[in-house]
């Protein structure tokens, strides 16, 4: 099965809806022009006891897998072009995270067009809006 298969895309969308996350962080980093690094992610989580997880995510063709100390596999897509490609393919099948996927694509598009501090502040506002869609222990507004 490949990422071009409708069945596999629907499966991944269901997996993302249930055991995945779509999020973006604005990490304080003084080495960046406006003081923040924008870090987008699509992540899946699965118990290490599930032997079918690694071959399944290997079929996606990008992303990284790590085994956490708590016995959970975490598969993360963090390259922007890969996130755009992945979400373009699976978002039509999403049920619960459709809004997060649309907003992530908007944020990545806005990020490419930043030419001023005003543009960057608008991006941070969209990121804060995004955070309100997901559970977060730290709900801070930056702008």
Residue 48 covered by a domain: yes
Residue 27 covered by a domain: yes
> How many domains are there within the chain?
1
Contact 40, 80 (CB under 8 A): yes
Residue 55 covered by a domain: yes
Residue 140 covered by a domain: no
Residue 105 covered by a domain: yes
Range of the structural domain that residue 57 is part of: 6-131
Say if residue 142's pLDDT is above 50: no
Active site residue 119: no
Q: Where does the pLDDT of residue 59 fall: very low under 50, low under 70, confident under 90, or very high at 90 and above?
A: confident
- The CATH number assigned to the domain holding 114 equals 3.10.28.10
**Integer angstrom CA distances of residue 106 from 25, 62, 68, 111, 114:** 14, 21, 31, 9, 13
Residue 120 covered by a domain: yes
Say if residue 2's pLDDT is above 70: no
Residue 78 covered by a domain: yes
Active site residue 71: no
Instruction: Name the nearest CA neighbour of 43 among 26, 28, 25, 70.
Output: 25
Of 14, 17, 19, 85, the active-site residue reads: 19
pTM for the model: 0.87
Residue 115 covered by a domain: yes
**pLDDT at residue 131 in the model:** 65
Question: Tens of pLDDT along 76-130?
Answer: 999 999 999 999 999 999 999 999 999 999 999 999 999 999 999 999 999 988 7
| Separation between Cα atoms, residue 82 and residue 12, nearest integer Å | 15
Of 18, 58, 61, 119, the active-site residue reads: 18
Question: Tens of pLDDT along 3-53?
Answer: 778 999 999 999 999 999 999 999 999 999 999 999 999 999 999 898 788
């Amino acid at each position: 099965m490949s990422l071009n298969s409708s069945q596999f895309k629907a499966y991944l969308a269901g997996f993302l809806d249930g055991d995945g996350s779509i999020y973006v962080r604005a990490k304080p980093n003084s080495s960046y022009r406006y003081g923040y690094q924008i870090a987008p992610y699509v992540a899946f989580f699965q118990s290490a006891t599930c032997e079918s997880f690694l071959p399944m995510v290997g079929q996606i063709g990008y992303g990284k897998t790590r085994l956490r100390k708590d016995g959970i596999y975490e598969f993360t897509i963090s390259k922007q072009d890969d996130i755009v490609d992945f979400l373009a393919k699976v978002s039509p099948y999403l049920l619960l995270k459709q809004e997060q996927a649309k907003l992530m694509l908007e944020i990545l598009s806005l990020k490419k067009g930043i030419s001023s501090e005003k543009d960057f502040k608008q991006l941070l506002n969209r990121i804060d809006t995004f955070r309100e869609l997901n559970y977060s222990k730290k709900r801070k507004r930056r702008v």
